[in-house]
Amino acid sequence: MGSLDQRMDKSIAKEITTQLGADNDDRLEHLKAFDDTKAGVKGLIDAGITSLPKIFIRPVDELVEESNIGRSQAQVPVIDLSGIQSDDQRKRIVSELRRASEEWGFFQVVNHGIPESVLNGMIDGICKFHEQDTELKKEYYSRDQLRKVRYESNIDLYHSRAANWRDSLTISLVACNELEPDELPQVCRGTAIDYVNHVTKLGGTLFDLLSEALGMKLDNLRAMECGRGRTFVGHYYPACPEPDLTLGTNRHTDAAFLTILLQDHIGGLQFLHDDQWTDVPPIPGGLVASIADLLQIVSNDKFKSVEHRVIANRTGPRISVPCFFAGAVVPAKIYGPVKELISEKSPALYREFTVREFLDHFMSKPIDKSGLDHFKI
């Protein structure tokens, strides 16, 4: 008689095979069957599948459209934050940051002050969470967006045209700024707390630099509480048997002010630059930063939030951990183009709104549909 883990794996495999193998075209039924397993994409791999279930296969028109988009060899800007206390070095950093935010929307930062042991620890902790026994993960499985710590597969599972090849552990500090250790899974508790504290501090530094890059006072974005609400998401992308037919994450922009992303050595992140997909190769010890929708709005389109995606890969698992800085959600705060950036020549392009309104709109649609137009004047 096999071990308990082996018997549970066989039970999960049978459940998934039975529920997803039925020959019918009812997509909603297939989605719900997958969701109800609470085993995620990792459960499919554990079940030994060798081809993609229908719900993950992208529509033909989307694949054809995708084939017409070129691939760029452009190198994403890398900004060295060392010497930030020196006036000359700070001017260099602000200048590089301004150009990257206006022309690229993406950049990588090195010498940011976060120890490599903290970065590696977070990647290892997220991997351990997703690779532990399914019954332990099920405790956290939920689609309740108000739950502070939750595990799920595909935040837009019931809205998207095709499911993405990833599972996620979300740590939300949007409604509440405090994080109690007991709320986190034990397998990644210590590493997650260290990482959250370090990235929160780095976010404050970047917001100060971005304020200067916009020609405003150093603490303007900080005073607007752009870095207050934070969401950390530990993505797990298993090796995919048919990566050309699906994606790790659909093309989208982020419903936040700023995103700071930790990725492992495998890579797969791409963003649109000059209408071509551009790779963001992993840099040892580096972090990816990107301008998100809310910063494009408050900068009145001076800074750009650009579409990005994650491709599926035969190699895996790939681990990435984005932190989304969403601003002040509770208590509610009104955001819109910053008054200092508005003039007769540059009138406000967006109306005012709360972050909750923006997030509710984002969650009501597939992630590959931008929410910016909804808030334009």
pLDDT single digits (tens) 187-206: 999 999 999 999 999 999 99
In this prediction, residue 17 carries a pLDDT of 44
More confident residue, 90 or 19: 90
Please state, in angstroms and rounded to a whole number, the distance separating the CA atoms of residues 155 and 237.
14
Query: Minimum mean pLDDT among 177-186, 305-314, 359-368: which range?
Result: 359-368
- Output phi, psi for 20, to 5 deg: -95, -15
What is the secondary structure of 243-260 as a DSSP string? GGG-EEEEEE--SSSEEE
**Helical segments of the chain, H only:** 4-20, 27-37, 40-46, 60-67, 87-103, 116-131, 134-137, 189-213, 220-223, 293-298, 355-363
Query: Minimum mean pLDDT among 97-106, 129-138, 235-244, 352-361: which range?
Result: 352-361
Consecutive H or E run containing 262: strand 258-263
Average pLDDT over the chain, rounded to whole?
Answer: 91
Q: Are the C-beta atoms of 160 and 222 separated by less than 8 Å?
A: no
**Helical segments of 171-262, H only:** 189-213, 220-223
In this prediction, residue 176 carries a pLDDT of 83
Mean pLDDT, range 36-54, rounded to an integer:
96
Global confidence as pTM:
0.91
Domains of the chain with bracketed CATH = 4-375 (2.60.120.330)
pLDDT single digits (tens) 278-320: 999 999 999 999 999 999 999 999 999 999 999 999 999 999 9
Mean pLDDT, range 82-89, rounded to an integer:
93
Tell me the C-alpha to C-alpha distance, in Å, between residue 240 and each of 81, 124, 164. 36, 20, 11
- Amino acid, res. 368: D
CA 192 from chain centre, in angstroms, equals: 16
In this prediction, residue 268 carries a pLDDT of 96
In this prediction, residue 21 carries a pLDDT of 44
In this prediction, residue 25 carries a pLDDT of 57
Consecutive H or E run containing 230: strand 229-237
pLDDT single digits (tens) 133-179: 999 999 999 999 889 999 999 999 998 999 999 999 999 999 888 88
pLDDT exceeding 90 applies to what percent of the chain?
81
Q: Are the C-beta atoms of 148 and 176 separated by less than 8 Å?
A: yes
